[in-house]
Amino acid sequence: IADEGAHVHYVEGCTAPVYTTNSLHSAVVEIIIKKDAYCRYTTIQNWANNVFNLVTKRAVCEANATMEWIDGNIGSKLTMKYPAVILKGEGARGLTLSIAIAGKGQHQDAGAKMIHLAPNTSSTIVSKSISKHGGKVTYRGIVHFGRKAAGSRSNIECDTLI
| pLDDT of 143 above 90 | yes
Alpha helices in the chain (DSSP H): none
| pLDDT of 113 above 80 | yes
How many Å separate Cα 148 from the centre of its chain? Answer: 24
Dist CA 106 CA 50 (whole Å): 9
Dist CA 71 CA 161 (whole Å): 17
Mean pLDDT score across all residues of the chain: 96
Domain ranges, ordered by start, for the chain: 7-161
% of the chain residues with pLDDT over 90: 93
For Cα atoms 94, 95, 100, give the angle at the middle one, nearest 5 degrees.
150
| pLDDT of 19 above 80 | no
Are the C-beta atoms of 68 and 95 separated by less than 8 Å?
yes
Comparing CA positions, the residue from 66, 54, 61 lying closest to residue 23 is: 54
Express each pLDDT in 75-101 by its tens digit: 999 999 999 999 999 999 999 999 999
Are the C-beta atoms of 30 and 61 separated by less than 8 Å?
no
